[in-house]
């Protein structure tokens, strides 16, 4: 839990029995996302203090509330950024639950997964397939489903040149997904020491952003049909657009909130586009995990006990995570 002006503290909590349409999950693993850092730092959270962050959760169903159907105690489940929706707005009615204006997010709308127990709407659950451990499954609730969906819904086809900016918590998964989907994958990172890693993840090309402008380098490769930006900085994006082929698309899933300064001529003259992408539904999360099991895509995680949440958060903040910090209650 996080208190105002204090570091993260691990304290005893009472398990909340599930209400109508809810389930209680015994948490086995929970990832630390970049957005969780914002949750911890927020001086005035909407739900007040204390705050329990966490929206990359894997665990086992411990209790079922009334009117819950299709789920059983003991099932392995994952929970992600999507933590429930209203069910009746125009977005929900067409199945676009992640864009419900009243969408709930674990850790923001109610206590999240940095805990040994989590009570959530049953509609937020995704089944974990055989072949994934809890620590591997947890990041699929946010980082995994976000990059998987951004790539598969991009309109890009097998053999197209696809670039991934950033080889971090999201990027290392995006590179693997892109390679597994049959794209000619380019990884863009900082430093020659990441070249071998990029190749291990499945990239056919590596661009060192410390040595050359990534957009110009992509142009020399013929231009990318798609660039997926997973980096936490918006600064490189204007130059990166130069690396798009005609009709190419830049999809942003990682950003720092700063404005994007982009000459419109870069878009108009090449019929290019810049779009954002946000997470996915529980069904999407299940698809991402099944695809990962079938193709060998896996998050690289560092698992630490829940009691060391503060130290794990500092590692994440300092950019030293390789590549997803995962908290394990009872470890």
Task: Answer yes or no: do 138 and 239 share one domain.
Answer: no
Q: Supply the DSSP symbol for 323.
A: S
264-267 long-range contacts, CB within 8 A, separation 24+: 266/238, 266/241, 266/242, 267/241
Task: Answer yes or no: do 131 and 186 share one domain.
Answer: no
Would you put residue 301 in left (φ > 0), alpha (ψ -120 to 50) or beta? beta
Whether residue 10 lies inside any domain: the answer is: no
Task: Answer yes or no: do 262 and 166 share one domain.
Answer: yes
Look up the CATH number of the domain holding residue 226: 3.40.50.720
Task: Answer yes or no: do 249 and 150 share one domain.
Answer: yes
Whether residue 86 lies inside any domain: the answer is: yes
Task: Answer yes or no: do 180 and 128 share one domain.
Answer: no
Percentage of residues in the chain having pLDDT higher than 70: 98
Q: What's the pLDDT at 255?
A: 86
Q: What's the pLDDT at 62?
A: 98
Look up the CATH number of the domain holding residue 134: 3.90.180.10
Structure tokens at 139: 């990041």
Whether residue 307 lies inside any domain: the answer is: yes
Whether residue 302 lies inside any domain: the answer is: yes
pLDDT digits (tens, 9 = 90+) for 121-145: 999 999 999 999 999 999 999 999 9
Highest mean pLDDT (candidates 49-53, 73-77, 255-259): 73-77
- Is-contact 102 66, C-beta < 8 A? no
Whether residue 14 lies inside any domain: the answer is: no
Q: For residue 127, give its domain range.
A: 22-142+280-328
In the block, residue with structure tokens 């204007």: 238
Task: Answer yes or no: do 176 and 78 share one domain.
Answer: no
- The pTM (predicted TM-score) of the whole model is 0.96
Whether 120 has a pLDDT exceeding 70, the answer reads yes
Task: Answer yes or no: do 157 and 242 share one domain.
Answer: yes
Whether residue 57 lies inside any domain: the answer is: yes
Looking at the 3D structure of the chain, how many domains does it have? 2
- Is-contact 168 159, C-beta < 8 A? no
Task: Answer yes or no: do 160 and 267 share one domain.
Answer: yes
Whether residue 1 lies inside any domain: the answer is: no
Whether residue 261 lies inside any domain: the answer is: yes
Task: Answer yes or no: do 267 and 150 share one domain.
Answer: yes
Q: Which of 260, 276, 292 is the last residue of a domain?
A: 276
* 117-121/76-79 β-pairing: unpaired
Task: Answer yes or no: do 259 and 174 share one domain.
Answer: yes
Task: Answer yes or no: do 171 and 208 share one domain.
Answer: yes
Q: What's the pLDDT at 2?
A: 61
pLDDT digits (tens, 9 = 90+) for 290-318: 999 999 999 999 999 999 999 999 998 88
Task: Answer yes or no: do 272 and 180 share one domain.
Answer: yes
């Amino acid at each position: 839990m996080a208190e105002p002006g204090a570091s993260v503290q691990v304290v005893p909590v009472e398990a909340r029995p599930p209400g109508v349409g809810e389930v209680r999950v015994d948490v086995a693993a929970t990832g630390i996302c970049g957005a969780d850092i914002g949750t911890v730092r927020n001086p005035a959270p909407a739900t007040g203090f204390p705050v329990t962050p966490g929206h990359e959760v894997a665990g086992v169903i411990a209790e079922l509330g009334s009117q819950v159907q299709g789920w059983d105690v003991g099932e392995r489940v994952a929970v992600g950024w999507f933590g429930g929706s209203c069910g009746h707005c125009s977005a929900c009615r067409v199945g676009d639950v992640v864009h419900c204006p009243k969408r709930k997010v674990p850790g923001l709308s109610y206590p999240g997964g940095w805990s040994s127990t989590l009570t959530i709407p049953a509609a937020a659950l995704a089944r974990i397939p055989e072949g994934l451990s809890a620590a591997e499954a947890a990041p699929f609730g946010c980082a995994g489903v976000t990059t998987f969906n951004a790539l598969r819904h991009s309109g890009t086809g097998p053999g197209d040149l696809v670039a991934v900016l950033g080889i971090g918590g999201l990027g290392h998964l995006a590179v693997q997904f892109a390679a597994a989907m049959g794209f000619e994958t380019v990884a863009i990172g900082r430093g020659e020491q990441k070249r071998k890693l990029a190749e291990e993840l499945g990239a056919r090309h590596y661009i060192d952003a410390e040595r050359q402008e990534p957009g110009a380098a992509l142009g020399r490769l013929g231009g990318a049909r798609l660039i997926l930006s997973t980096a936490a900085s918006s600064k490189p994006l204007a130059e990166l657009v130069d690396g798009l082929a005609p009709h190419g698309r830049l999809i942003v899933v990682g950003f720092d909130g700063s404005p994007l300064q982009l000459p419109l001529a870069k878009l108009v003259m090449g019929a290019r586009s810049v779009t954002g992408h946000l997470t996915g539904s529980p069904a999407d999360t299940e698809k991402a995990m099944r695809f990962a099991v079938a193709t060998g895509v896996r998050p690289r995680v560092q698992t630490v006990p829940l009691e060391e949440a503060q130290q794990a958060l500092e590692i994440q903040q300092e950019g030293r995570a390789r590549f997803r910090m995962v908290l394990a209650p009872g470890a």
